[in-house]
Chain A
Amino acid sequence: MALLKLAVRNLRRNRRRSTITLAAMIIGTVAMTCLRGFINGQQRVIIDNQVEGRMGAVQVHKRGYIANVLTSPLALDMADTPELRQKLAKIPGVVAVAPRIEFGAMLSTPDKKPQPDDGSLLPPADQGKTSFIMATAIDPQAEALVTPLRNSFIRGGKLFASVDAHDIVLNDDFARGLEVAVHPEGTPLPKVEQQLALLAPDRDGALNGENVVMGAALPSFSPGDRRIGLVPLGTAQRILRMEGRVTEYSLAVSPFDAAPRVRDAAQAALGPDFEVHTWSELMPFIGTLTNTQDFIFSVISGVFLAVVLLGIVNAMLMTVLERVREIGTMLAVGMRRVQIIQLFVMEGLVIGIVGGLLGIALGYLIVTLAGHIGIPLPAPGAAVPSVVKPFITPLYLVSALVGVPVGASLACLWPAWRASRLRPVEALQTA
């Protein structure tokens, strides 16, 4: 306690130096906290876009589905029964269940001019185009609860009026490439030969198709989602001859971090014929992305911290030089060398606690404020506007509150050690 009193008084002795050290520390921690808050907010946007815009928090498939996901295996399907949906909906934390079929399909646009009567071919520019799409068949009502964000992204139209509508929703970049436009609502449908043709092989490989129109456009909101098309579930089941069957259930979960718990509960409830995954297992690239960001953040904050701590080392070395005679006196009257070390480390600790507390409090304030206001900024690779709402996790708060003072006291170790090694006979004789 005597040491703490001494430490505090010594810090107050050279106010200007302590203030500068403190200011460096506060600026450093505020910057670190704001950066962390912003990264958190951006990661949340990326995750939300994926989870609430496309995937859902937890997905259920027939066992083996994910291993073969690239071939969109229709054979690994399941009966879409009320009992099964009930079973899933009853799991604590599940708030909505959306049935889906993922399948590969072809989309053909009509020719722009009628075929010439003379049997010659249309010039290529006038021919219709055919393109492969990754189709997701959805139930619009259920999907509104599981992927509400996607509904809010929809432009120039709306998501299917019914589960077996003759509509399709395409990415707007993709639609532009295909020269397809949204069919304006309320206008009469074009003639059948002027509609799009959606073709898909069923489980037996037989190609079936239906005519559809583009009901709405969806902007891109994550990398690689431009070839995805949304199809009403009933329509897809007709084309694929899979009435009453689905390949996927997507679950909305609340609270958000209940996903792993829900996964385990769902797996237990469904048994070994099924497999259940959380969004982070389904989209490992998000983990890679956030890990990379976290790594860059730790490098940056490490550099920040090092600069601030070197400032402390410098200030402390100066302090030691100024207090040589005093240190000699303390050693002469019987203070031990470790106590000298403790004294200087304590000075670092006090600066660290004060600077850390103020810096983190100020940073937290700024981040919380920014979180309320929101920073409009699209997620990387997304064409939709989104609002980044910075936030700070309790874990960060705790580790910063511990780490900054610990760092500051470690920074004092070397000056403290130098002070403790002073030879009192010489120290006492300095002016």
Chain B
Amino acid sequence: MNLIELKGIQKSYELGKTTVTALRGVDLSIAKGEFTVITGPSGSGKTTLLNIIGCLDRASAGRYQLDGQDVSNRDFDDLAGVRNQKIGFIFQNFNLIPVLDVAENIEFPCAVRKDAEKPEVLRQKVERLAEAVGLKPYLHHKPDELSGGQRQRVAIARALITGPALVLADEPTANLDSATSEQIIDLMLALNREQGVTFLFSTHDARVVKHAKRALEIRDGVMVP
């Protein structure tokens, strides 16, 4: 069974009297372990789609099954647990929490759980992940002491700490120079290859698309066949 199953997803925004339709019937299936890139021009609906897949936003119509659960009509706060356990997020502008150091940022999704693991156990996990993303020496640095590439590595580690079924990345390399972008994509590929993490990310960058195992295109709110 597919990890993600989207059927006829529509999304429109009411702006006063006019209605902006961002997605007009998207069908999409993603299996476990895939490494998928979504491309498309600006305004084509990539962010909107990823937000819906990430349970950050609700579709106006259509059905969405995540890992066998129908999440189409569930309330945002109700989905907090689903987001926390099943999905890792990587953002274009990193979105680290500035008052927390690298280790604390990485463990954050686990630390806010009611049944958080013991700090020692969590710390071990953090160190293993930091090692994997090449941040071991920076565990006690604050985000503002890191370069953009390093910040995005923190974000990747944070996305992985919960052992999510799916990692979503909306233009993760848009704020990085091309060499760093390359490294970040390589890191994600390696994690996909070695740990079987499912990645779904959007990008404008044609160069990163060539790495992807599966490339999809969206245009005007519909998938290009």
Contact = CB atoms under 8 A, between A and B. Distances in A.
Contacts of A337: 77, 80
Interface in B137-157: none
Interface stretch (A45-53, A74-82, A287-295, A328-336): A328-336
B190 interface: no
Task: Name the residue among B51, B54, B95 with the largest chain A CB count within 10 angstroms.
Answer: B95
Interface string B73-111: 000110011011100010101011111100000001101
Interface residues of B, number: 28
A330 B99 CA distance: 13
Contacts of A318: none
B217 interface: no
A425 B57 contact: yes
A334 B85 contact: yes
B116 A2 contact: yes
Interface in B103-133: 108-109, 111-113, 116
Contacts of A63: none
A427 B115 CA distance: 27
A345 B83 CA distance: 24
A428 B113 CA distance: 21
B28 interface: no
B46 interface: no
A270 to B, nearest CB: 65
Nearest to A13: B99
Contacts, number: 67
Contacts of A13: 98-99
A235 B32 CA distance: 111
B45 to A, nearest CB: 13
A428 B85 CA distance: 20
Interface string A9-36: 1101100000000000000000000000
Task: Name the residue among A3, A6, A13, A337 with the largest chain B CB count within 10 angstroms.
Answer: A6
A424 interface: yes
Contacts of B100: 6, 9
A235 B143 CA distance: 92
Nearest to B48: A425
B80 A334 contact: yes
B97 A425 contact: no
Contacts of B31: none
Contacts of B57: 425
Contacts of A332: 54, 56, 83, 89, 95
A254 interface: no
Given A2-B116, A428-B91, A333 B98 contact: no
Given A2-B111, A336-B77, A336-B80, A329 B56 contact: no
Given A333-B108, A334-B109, A425-B57, A10 B99 contact: yes
B95 A335 contact: no
A425 B51 contact: yes
Contacts of B77: 336-337
Interface string A324-368: 011011111111110100000000000000000000000000000
Given A9-B99, A334-B85, A428-B95, A2 B112 contact: yes
B169 to A, nearest CB: 13
A13 B76 CA distance: 29
A334 B98 contact: no
B97 A329 contact: yes
A3 B112 CA distance: 8
Contacts of A328: 95
The 4 closest A-B pairs by CB, nearest first: A334-B84, A9-B99, A329-B95, A2-B111
30 contacts: A2-B108, A2-B111, A3-B112, A6-B97, A6-B99, A9-B99, A10-B99, A326-B98, A328-B95, A329-B96, A330-B108, A330-B112, A331-B76, A331-B80, A332-B56, A332-B83, A333-B84, A333-B112, A334-B80, A334-B81, A334-B83, A334-B85, A334-B113, A335-B80, A335-B112, A336-B80, A337-B80, A339-B112, A424-B76, A428-B91
